[in-house]
Amino acid sequence: MADPVKLSVVYYSSTGTISEIAAALVAEAESAGAEVRLRKAAELAPDAAIDSNPAWRAHLEATKSVPEVSAEDIVWSDAVIFGSPTRYGNIAAQLKQFIDTLGGEWAQGKLADKVYSGFTSSATKHGGQESTLLALYNTIHHFGGIIVSPGYTDGSKFVDGNPYGTSHVDGQGQFKVDDETRTAAAVQARRVVKIAQQLKAGA
């Protein structure tokens, strides 16, 4: 039996949309044979901001059991899928802050030659989803990582329409994660695991 792909799904989620997509990615990757770690970025927002939105506080409490990501989770992995809500067309500060702590691992070449992919959500249509994923992928170029986006490699991608990664419009919580988004996550997870496994076997 081939050595399974080691995958870390690393996300930041304030009110739960990204967290729910992360869970879908984990389930599909595990069904594809990967060994998966689910990790969240630490919350940086002050209590006053969190308490201004009851859903934010509720989600923070509900996900206390999810371990916070560390550099070791990235070094351990053959593949990493990063997830973040869109913040002004970019990734959230909480995920960016974690990524910015990886300078030591980057300098030692420990982030290179891994598969990376990304997913996102926004409150509105055309709310910066593509630019968020492209901004994330800028970082991967600096890592020397291998970007594996879903592309239009499956017929379902012509329905959700985002070749850069799984994305969802939540309308400030009005639109829950649906079958279209879950299908997109499944396609992405399977593709990441497949390409990572091929690279691992070739190495």
Per-residue pLDDT, averaged over 49-64, amounts to 94
pLDDT given at position 137: 98
The residue ranking higher by pLDDT, 165 or 170, is 165
Question: What confidence category does residue 202 fall into, taking pLDDT thresholds of 50, 70 and 90?
Answer: confident
Does a structural domain hold residue 57? yes
Listed residue (202, 130, 114, 195) closest to 165, CA to CA: 130
Structural domains of the chain, count? 1
Does a structural domain hold residue 148? yes
Residue-number span of the structural domain to which 171 is assigned: 6-202
Listed residue (74, 76, 21, 78) closest to 194, CA to CA: 78
Q: Does 12 score more than 70 pLDDT?
A: yes
How many residues does the structure list for the chain? 203
pLDDT given at position 171: 75
pLDDT tens digits along 144-161: 999 999 999 999 999 999
Does a structural domain hold residue 69? yes
pLDDT given at position 172: 76
Distance CA 120, CA 135 (A): 12
Q: Which CATH number covers residue 45?
A: 3.40.50.360
pLDDT tens digits along 14-28: 999 999 999 999 999
Model pTM?
0.96
Q: Does 196 score more than 80 pLDDT?
A: yes
Does a structural domain hold residue 1? no
Distance CA 145, CA 177 (A): 29
Question: What confidence category does residue 174 fall into, taking pLDDT thresholds of 50, 70 and 90?
Answer: confident
Per-residue pLDDT, averaged over 25-50, amounts to 97
Q: Residue 91's beta-bridge partner residues?
A: 86
Mean pLDDT (the chain) is 95
Distance CA 199, CA 201 (A): 5
DSSP designation for 165: S
Burial (CB count <10 Å: 0-12, 13-18, 19+), residue 92:
buried
In order of 47, 118, 174, the CA distances from 78 in angstroms are 36, 15, 36
Per-residue pLDDT, averaged over 119-124, amounts to 94
Q: How far is CA 54 from the centre of its chain?
A: 24
Distance CA 59, CA 66 (A): 11
